[in-house]
Amino acid sequence: MTVESVGDMTVQELRSMIEAVVDERIRPGHPRPYRQTSDRPIGEVLQSMRENIWTPPPGTPSIVEMLREDRDR
């Protein structure tokens, strides 16, 4: 019997499908979804991000406050 949708699966069938996908993805030699294309090392990129992070000045409204202001207009 072929299942047409996830909603038609039993819990066991769903678990088996998920396990099969996970096993396939962690198998050695499986291509990774991201390949680094830059020559710049990841550690250098992360360090640059830490050094260049912007912190809003004191008294700046939070994101939630700005969203509430927009909603109330």
Residue 1 has pLDDT above 70, yes or no: no
Cα 26 to chain center, whole Å?
A: 17
Q: Tell me if 44 sits within 8 A of 38, measured CB to CB.
A: no
Strand ranges, E, within 1-73: none
- The two tokens of residue 56 are 């809003």
Q: Quick one: pLDDT at residue 5? A: 86
Residue 4 has pLDDT above 60, yes or no: yes
Give the predicted TM-score (pTM) of the model: 0.38
